[in-house]
Structure 1
Amino acid sequence: MNIDAEKAVAALRDLLRNAVPVAETDDVALAALWVLQAEMLGLPEFGIRMLRRDLDRLAGVDPAGSTPSDDDAAIGSVDATGVPGVVALATAVRRARRSVEAHGLAIIGIRGAGALGILGLAARSLAADGAVALLAAQSPASVAPWGAHTVAIGTNPLAVAVPRADAPPLVIDYATSALTLAAVREARASGARLPEGGAVDADGASTTDPDAVAALLPAGLVGSLTGLVVELLAGVAVGGRVTDPQLPSSRGALLIAFDPARAGGADTAAAASALDRDWRGAGGHLPARFDVLATDTADLPGSVDLGGDDVAWLRDTASGAARA
């Protein structure tokens, strides 16, 4: 269904503001933009559907339980227990902006989060301001180690964004597993089969049946080890990894952002563009899906295509928020 993009993002802001009254207005606006941009990228499992699941998860949870540290500190944390993950991520980005401006560096841990959305969008927001950003997120166990068949870590995505001369920021965003849980959910909903080699069943046999998946597989040995690194940094090091089986599962994340000029990068944007040319010239592929996206709500296209069920939910929920 084709609907007005500005109205869609306004509806998302309204329902998030109602769901998280303690959140900063700027954080809610940025989170709403990312949710809509996930839809624009053709990734609805990271858009409105994700937000619906996360708001259901938070039903009855007091959002006042969030305990962020000082906004201008170079290192700190966000307790996302009571807020949607995408709002907690927007809070971390806002604080990182302030810290990079004040100190040249920001390191922010996030714990207790639900679905965080597309990490590359958050990293891109910082790179658009001239920072270099790295984001890593761990998640509940769904992926087996390389050569094994029992789950130990999550899909554990990693995103890096760097300013680029005469072009949008260069963004690299990928999961360390061969498949994502979103892909499994989509296959279950559509009745499609999964690609070969991405998952195993309860007996450890390779499967393409989404209903039989017992464990996802890593993207090779390097993907497995990278997933373990993400688990250590975004899970163990910042308190994101839940080890008590009596507690609900959640996600942890780590955001690192810095001013490249203070780190010795005399002309980082030009160097990134030169690397882009060298990579492509050698026959390499650079992801470009983020390049078409605006960095500000004012630059959104006139309309966006959304699923009919998601549009109905958004209208009903946002209308209820406006009446509350």
Structure 2
Amino acid sequence: MNAMVEVPADRLRQQIAAVLAPYAEAGAARGIAAEDADRAALWLVQAEQLGLGGFGLDMLLRDLTRLDSGGGLEPGLEEPAERSAAGVEPGAAVTSFDAAGVPGPLALAAAARISAGGASTHGIGLVGISGVGALGVLGLAARALAEEGNFALVSAQAPAMVAPWGGREPAIGTNPLAFGAPRDAAPPLVADFATSQLTLAELRLRRETGEALPAGTALDAAGAPTTDPAAAAALLPEGRLGSLAGLLVEVLAGAAVGGRTPRGDAAAGRGAVVLALDPMRAGGGRIAETVAEIASDWRAAGGHVPGRFDALSTPEAPPAISVERGRYSALVNLGAASAASSPTQHEEEA
């Protein structure tokens, strides 16, 4: 069993933010701000608090490895001119940026902030992201936008791992989708779901532990059902509607904002869309009251009202986070390397 260490949530947030800070500084030309590093760190810690560790520190470390950033010293944002020019258009209702070389959670935090600004100015803010890695828990971004009074929609396209309904080979990614809306006398209503029956984080965890997959969730390379995580070559969608929802995300985040890599090209990342809509401008001035009614009607009819994120609205101080010791040591080492390479740090020492 892996050794675990208890880390105060605030300290873990600060340590993650310190690792992300150099990437935020290097990505300033694309519209990424220093505050985005802290917000991304908060969401990663909240993922741990919600028991979604596969989308927390573990995911961040994998994404930093994907970037091959030299142990966190060099964010690796030196790119050809056509890429470096791909930054956001300030104040635009619809804009986009290329997130190659940017950690996924940091790109998501920047997109949420930029889309909120568009909604405040124009009534709608839509940000397309291309070339990005694993983003984290999309529902946390949707929740943050809803807390500001917006209706939020967040989706992400991913490399092919899911077979279409009735198919036997992977054609699209797990393609998660999340939405959030303000609600009277309650936390925002937030739903966050993969369009496949399993997430890649769950598949990865079961491959590490050797735990069998649930029946009817995966196919092997020959297209036959399998419960062996090591043999899984394709995941199955969450029914026909889940398959179509995955197709929707593929077209939206893959085609409409340029996230999908052309056939034959090496995939350097994935695409994502963050949308914030000001209900007052769209005729929904009573959205919080109406959403509360919708949730009440849904529950009265026997439906499950998503409440995974409600725990984050309680006033109690966040508990310590239990983190695998090896992963925590890797984070601490990255933070030390980032601090040692910081020009500000060197000036202070001089």
TM superposition score category, shorter chain reference: over 0.9
Partner of 2:53: 44
Partner of 2:88: 69
CA distance in 1, matches of 2:201, 2:275: 25
Equivalent of residue 323 in structure 1, options 328, 336, 340: 340
Superposition deviation, residue 256 in structure 1: 1.5
Equivalent of residue 62 in structure 2, options 48, 53, 62: 53
CA distance in 1, matches of 2:318, 2:217: 36
Does residue 84 of the first structure (1) align with residue 110 of the second (2)? no
CA distance in 2, matches of 1:127, 1:64: 35
8 Å Cα contact 2:187/2:313 also seen in 1 = no
Q: What are the ranges of 5 or more consecutive residues in structure 2 without an aligned counterpart? A: 27-31, 70-74, 342-350
Partner of 1:311: 328
Partner of 2:347: none
Does residue 13 of the first structure (1) align with residue 17 of the second (2)? yes
Superposition deviation, residue 294 in structure 1: 4.9
Equivalent of residue 282 in structure 2, options 247, 255, 263: 263
CA distance in 1, matches of 2:166, 2:265: 29
Equivalent of residue 248 in structure 2, options 226, 229, 236: 229
8 Å Cα contact 1:6/1:302 also seen in 2 = no
| Offset from partner CA, 1:256-290 (integer Å, 9 cap, x none) | 21111111112100111111111111111112111
Map 1:146-161 to 2 at 5 A. 146-161=165-180
Partner of 1:202: 221
Task: Say which SS state the counterpart of residue 21 (structure 2) adopts.
Answer: helix
Q: What are the ranges of 5 or more consecutive residues in structure 1 without an aligned counterpart? A: none
Partner of 2:39: 30
TM-score with structure 2 setting the length: 0.88
Equivalent of residue 177 in structure 1, options 196, 202, 212: 196
CA distance in 2, matches of 1:286, 1:186: 27
CA distance in 1, matches of 2:131, 2:42: 22
| Offset from partner CA, 1:279-306 (integer Å, 9 cap, x none) | 11111111211111159xx985142222
Distance 1:97-1:131 versus aligned 2 partners, 3 A rule:
same
| Offset from partner CA, 1:64-120 (integer Å, 9 cap, x none) | 555322231000002101201111111111111111111110111110000011110
Partner of 1:162: 181
Task: Say which SS state the counterpart of residue 293 (structure 1) adopts.
Answer: helix
Superposition deviation, residue 248 in structure 1: 2.9
CA distance in 2, matches of 1:124, 1:180: 20
Partner of 2:346: none
- Displacement over 4 Å in runs of 4+: none
CA distance in 1, matches of 2:153, 2:316: 25
Equivalent of residue 159 in structure 2, options 140, 147, 166: 140
Superposition deviation, residue 63 in structure 1: 2.1
Aligned residues: 322
Superposition deviation, residue 191 in structure 1: 1.5
| Offset from partner CA, 1:196-220 (integer Å, 9 cap, x none) | 1100001111111000001011111
Equivalent of residue 318 in structure 2, options 297, 301, 308: 301
CA distance in 2, matches of 1:77, 1:299: 37
Aligned-residue RMSD, C-alpha: 1.7
8 Å Cα contact 1:105/1:258 also seen in 2 = yes
CA distance in 2, matches of 1:248, 1:130: 36
Identity fraction in percent? 48
Map 1:264-303 to 2 at 5 A. 264-294=283-313, 301-303=318-320
Distance 1:288-1:64 versus aligned 2 partners, 3 A rule:
farther
TM-score with structure 1 setting the length: 0.95
Does residue 107 of the first structure (1) align with residue 121 of the second (2)? no
Partner of 2:72: none
CA distance in 2, matches of 1:179, 1:190: 16
CA distance in 1, matches of 2:43, 2:316: 13
